Structure 1
């Protein structure tokens, strides 16, 4: 069946997602569809303008690069990208503050438009889909009680740091610690109070260590802190400040007198897997237990222990 010109125009105009005809120079030559008003505004005013008229240079230049790639490859080019008020000239303060996510499907046309090579760019709003995927990813990577990373995410991060250590000699120190006499807290005060202790530890770790370090609950009352770019010598001070802050906050907020014990170690050239450093940090933790608790023990090459005792 052949469609008339008017019928084809009608079909194109009813497309839910907008389909832009864009030239190599970034000019909006035509716009079809975009009828799903849940996600799109009327963009017909763009026709005749260029991306550099509408968008700030960095974003407009990125779009121009994608158009060139699609034209040069002649194959379908798919990209995900964001747009927010700060990207659009004149909308810096009045446009949406949160970025809107799109999937762009870009295909070179087999003919020129007004003397220029051109593409059809179909833009699909995927903001809701992205938000769902991000929530699912966070849930799969996060410990529900403390809000820290879980064991799975910790091991992923540890592997990444292990590879950086061997390729770029970038140090990373691992601290493993747990709550002294945690079973006694659960037995005497109840598991809900024990959960409050673990949750408070998560809060202290986030507040004291920020975003440069990788914070995780390994399981039970065991926690791990990865300190990228930090040697054991540098990490000892950080670890002891964290130990003291945890003790003070639990006493102040939960009225529970408890302490923590931990172990420190960093990657060694002799390591054969990313988990070797965790095993040594665990050895340091148990050395702290044997030495009377409430301290951090550092395992260095040659298995020499450096102990940081109470109050240091």
Structure 2
């Protein structure tokens, strides 16, 4: 059956539209073939191949594209191979993501969605690869915001609880020391009521900066809310925690916070994790010692 010119023109127009659409996609429409013997190639590629570097593009287009997988981040490679193998065996859609590494050190996150088809000689996937780096970075930014106190930039209570859970697990497993410090600014309500909340905010930010300057990188200083802070000290016995708490108390008491009627003092409760105890038990004991410091007159460190 012969096709008339109108039908041919329509077909050409459809093909042109398909080509224009694939070239405008923020990714690659592809066919990926893997033989039973492990040979891999991409019989079809269309779209924005710039999501990969020049060397990776050449490897994707070669007859043997197995070297293209050399650009997959080593931490992601095993998971990608497991996903490919599972898809090949079950003929279930392939859906995963991985980091693509350039020779210059740049990394891109790539999402893959593909449907497999079993052939006599191997497996053929039809699918789409999309650069999702901006999405991943935005999600990381949102996670950071959810874990960060807006005023001081410190980890918030939620983040501290995550750190505490991890460090307690390490302490229980290895028997290593772990100390916790609870800090409360004395008479902070009076500061807010007398000099205003803006001045109170300045005190909170400056106190956070002072504490950060005296702590190790591995220590976790967090703002729990209001005028209450906590410091988690991995690999630190109570005796060392006591010395650090006294140093923090001394440095804060002597610092000029710009308040007309004097400086700022803190009350602190400290405790050391006991192997086998739960997170809430550790927190409760530190809280009790903090309030003991406040009952005894404030500007104190209580550890037993």
TM-score (structure 1 length as normaliser): 0.72
1:134 is paired with a residue of what secondary structure? helix
* 1:21 equivalent in alignment to 2:31: yes
Is 1:260 the equivalent of 2:266? Answer: yes
Q: Give 2:142's aligned residue.
A: 136
Question: 1:143: how far off?
Answer: 1.4
Gaps of 5+ in 1: 299-304, 306-312
- Aligned-CA RMSD value: 3.8
CA distance in 2, matches of 1:122, 1:108: 12
- Counterpart of 1:102 in structure 2 is 110
Distance 2:20 2:95 in 1: 22
Change over 3 Å in CA distance of 1:261–1:183 after alignment to 2: same
Between Structure 1 and Structure 2, how many residues are aligned?
A: 283
1:1-312 matches, within 5 Å, as: 11=18, 14-15=21-22, 16=25, 17-24=27-34, 25=38, 27-35=40-48, 45=58, 46-48=60-62, 50-52=65-67, 55=70, 59=74, 61-62=77-78, 63-64=80-81, 66-83=83-100, 87-89=101-103, 91-92=104-105, 96=106, 99-111=107-119, 117-120=123-126, 122-166=128-172, 169-247=175-253, 250-251=255-256, 257-269=263-275, 271=277, 273-298=278-303, 305=304
Asked if structure 1 preserves the Cα contact closer than 8 Å seen for 2:257 and 2:264, the reply is no
**Shift of the alpha carbon at 1:195?**
0.5
On the 8 A contact 1:34/1:40 being kept in 2, the answer is: no
For the 8 Å contact 2:72–2:99, the answer to whether it is kept is: no
Deviation of 1:127 after TM superposition, in Å, equals 2.5
Q: Which SS does the other structure have where 1:275 is aligned?
A: helix
Q: Relative to 1, partners in 2 of residues 1:70 and 1:215: Cα closer, same or farther, differing over 3 Å?
A: farther
Q: Is the Cα–Cα contact under 8 Å of residues 72 and 98 in structure 2 kept in the other structure?
A: no
The Cα of 1:88 is off from its aligned counterpart by 2.3
Q: Do the aligned residues in 1 keep the contact of 2:53 with 2:102 (CA within 8 Å)? A: no
Q: Distance in 2 between matches of 1:73 and 1:190?
A: 66
- The answer (yes or no) to whether the contact 2:177–2:235 under 8 Å persists in 1 is yes
Deviation at 1:226, TM superposition (A): 1.7
The secondary structure found in structure 1 opposite 2:118 is: coil
How much does 1:5 deviate? 12
Q: After superposition, what is the alpha-carbon deviation per residue over 1:35-66, rounded to whole angstroms, capped at 9, x for unaligned?
A: 498x6788753311535367458649545554
Gap runs ≥5 in structure 2? 1-10
Measure the CA separation in 2 of the matches of 1:205 and 1:76: 51
User: 127-136 or 27-36, which moves further after superposition?
Assistant: 27-36
What secondary structure, in the 3-state scheme, does the structure 1 residue paired with 2:31 have? Answer: strand
| Larger helix share, 1 or 2 | 2
User: Aligned equivalents of 2:17 and 2:118: distance in 1?
Assistant: 22
Larger radius of gyration: 2
Q: 1: distance between equivalents of 2:91 and 2:252?
A: 59
